[in-house]
Chain A
Amino acid sequence: MTRALAIAAVLGALVVAGPGAASAAPPNAADLEAELVCPVCETTLDQSNAPVAEQMKTYIRVQIAAGDTEQEIKDALVAEFGPQVLAEPPGGGFGLLAWLLPLGALVGGAIAVGLLIRAWTRRAAPPAADERLDPELDRLVDEELARFDG
Chain B
Amino acid sequence: MASRARLVGQGVAIGLVALLFILLAWSLLTDEGGGLKSAAARGDRPQAPDFTLERLDEDGDLRLSSLRGKAVVLNVWASWCVPCKEEAPFLEQVWQDNRDRGLVVVGLDAKDFRADARRFAKRFALTFPLVYDGPGDTIDGFGVTGFPETFVLDREGRVVQAFAGAVDGDDVRPRFVAAIERALET
Contact = CB atoms under 8 A, between A and B. Distances in A.
- A contact patch SS: helix
B88 to A, nearest CB: 16
Nearest to A53: B80
23 contacts: A39-B111, A40-B111, A51-B80, A52-B78, A52-B112, A54-B80, A55-B113, A59-B113, A79-B134, A81-B135, A82-B137, A85-B135, A108-B12, A112-B5, A112-B8, A112-B12, A115-B1, A115-B8, A116-B9, A118-B1, A119-B2, A120-B2, A122-B2
B2 A80 contact: no
A132 interface: no
A123 interface: yes
B32 interface: no
Contacts of A122: 1-2
A51 B9 contact: no
Interface string B108-149: 000111101000000000000000001111000000000000
A84 interface: yes
B17 to A, nearest CB: 15
Interface of A: 39-40, 51-52, 54-55, 59, 79-82, 84-85, 108, 112, 115-116, 118-120, 122-123
Nearest to A56: B113
Given A39-B135, A39-B136, A84-B135, A52 B111 contact: yes
A1 B21 CA distance: 33
Given A112-B9, A118-B1, A120-B2, 18 more contacts: A39-B134, A39-B136, A51-B81, A52-B78, A52-B80, A54-B80, A55-B80, A80-B112, A80-B113, A81-B111, A85-B135, A112-B12, A115-B1, A115-B5, A116-B2, A119-B2, A122-B1, A123-B2
Interface of B: 1-2, 5, 8-9, 12, 78, 80-81, 111-114, 116, 134-137
A39 B109 CA distance: 13
A55 B134 CA distance: 14
A55 B120 CA distance: 14
Nearest to B114: A80
Contacts of B112: 52, 80
Contacts of B81: 51
A84 B81 CA distance: 21
Contacts of B137: 82
Contact of A80 (B8, B9, B80, B134): B134
